[in-house]
Structure 1
Amino acid sequence: MYLAELRAGGEWPFVLDLHPRLTVVVGLGHERSHRLAALVNGALCGRLDGLDGIVRVDGQEHRLTAELVAALGIPPEINVVLRASDLPGARVLEADDDPAPPPPPPPPPPEEPEESAELIDARLALLQAREARAGAELALAAGRIALDPDARPAMIAAEGALETARRKRGDAAERVRSTQAALDAARAEAAERRADTRAHADRRSALEGRRQELLTALGTTPTDPTPVAEALAELRRVEALPPRPVDEALALADAWTALQERRAQVPPPRVAPTSLVEAALETLEAARIEHTLAHEMARLDDLTPEDARDIEAAHAAVVEAGEKVENSRRPRPLARRRLEAVRAAEQGLLERLGLSSYHAYLLRTAPGLSTPVRQERADRADAALADAEAVWEELHAPAADDERAQELAAETNRVRAAAFDLLGDDPGVDVEGALRALRRPVDAEPACRELLAALDAVGASPETGADPAASASAWLAYADEDHARRAALQAELGGLQSDLDELAADAARSEDPDAPDAPDEQAAVTPAESSVTVQVFTRLEAQLDEARAAFEAATEREEVARRARNQASSRLENARSAELRVVSLCEELTGATAAHQQAAMRVEELEHSEVERRAAAAPALATPPMPRAPEVDLSEVEVDELEVYVLARLVGQRSVGQAGSLPLVIEDAFAGLPVETTEKAIGVLERFTAAFQLIYLSDDPEIEAWARLFGPKGASVRRFLSPQSLSAT
Structure 2
Amino acid sequence: MKLTRLQDEHGGQSLELHPLVTVVTGLGPAARERVARAVSAIPCSGEPGLGGLVEAHGVVLDLTPENLDLLDLHDEVDVVVRSSDLPGSRIEGPATDSPADQPDDSPAVAAARRAYADNCEAYRILQEALEEALEEKALLEQALREEANAGPEHEPDQHGIGGGATSPEALALADELAALQARMAELEGQLGQEGRDIDVVTAWVDSARARLRAAESAVEVPVATAEDIESLERAHDEVLAAERKTEGRVGASRARRRLEEATRGQDELLAKMGFPTWSSYVMGAAHRGTDPDSQRELAEARREFERAEAEWAQLSAYIEADPDWSETLDGLERVHEQARLILGDVADDDVEQALRSHVVPEVEIHELAGLGGRLEDLETLVDARRSLLAAAQRSRDAAAIRLENLLGTGAPMTSEGAGAPEAAGTGPEAGGPSGTSAEAVEWYVLARLANQRAVSYAGSVPLVLDEPLKGWAFEDVSNVFDRLERMAEVVQVIYLSDDADVVSWGRELGEDRAAVVEAGARVFA
Bin for the TM-score computed over the shorter chain: 0.3 to 0.5
Whichever of the two has the greater Rg, that structure is 1
Which one has the bigger helix percentage? Answer: 1
